[in-house]
Amino acid sequence: MSLESMAFAPGTRVRVTQQMPAVRRVATTTLEGTVLRYRQSKTGSWFAHALHDRLWLDRLELRLDDGEVTVLNLDQYTVIEPVPAGSAR
């Protein structure tokens, strides 16, 4: 079974940690929720010089505990961990 099918399967509870490196520090954000959808979708980026002049991004759609739905753009600084059933944050 591939990592994508394990970690990104709809209904899977995951913890996603994203980091944004800066010159003197790293900004870190962690979210926990249930996977609604994983997909690759294109942006409107005109400078990407990729297929059809669009940049394709990995996106993960989550439903958070309060019901909010959020879409995360995944990159090399993103860590996705499955959360065991019954585990609280």
d(CA 64, CA 24): 31
Q: How is residue 77 written in tokens? A: 């600084």
d(CA 6, CA 55): 25
Confidence at residue 19, expressed as pLDDT on a 0 to 100 scale:
93
Alpha helices in the chain (DSSP H): 3-7
Any idea which architecture 3-82 has in CATH? Roll (2.30)
**Looking at residue 52, what DSSP letter applies?**
G
Q: Which tens digits make up the pLDDT trace of 10-55? A: 999 999 999 988 889 999 999 999 999 999 887 765 555 655 666 7
Quickly state the pLDDT bin for 85 (edges 50, 70, 90).
confident
Residues present in the chain in total:
89
The whole-model pTM stands at 0.76
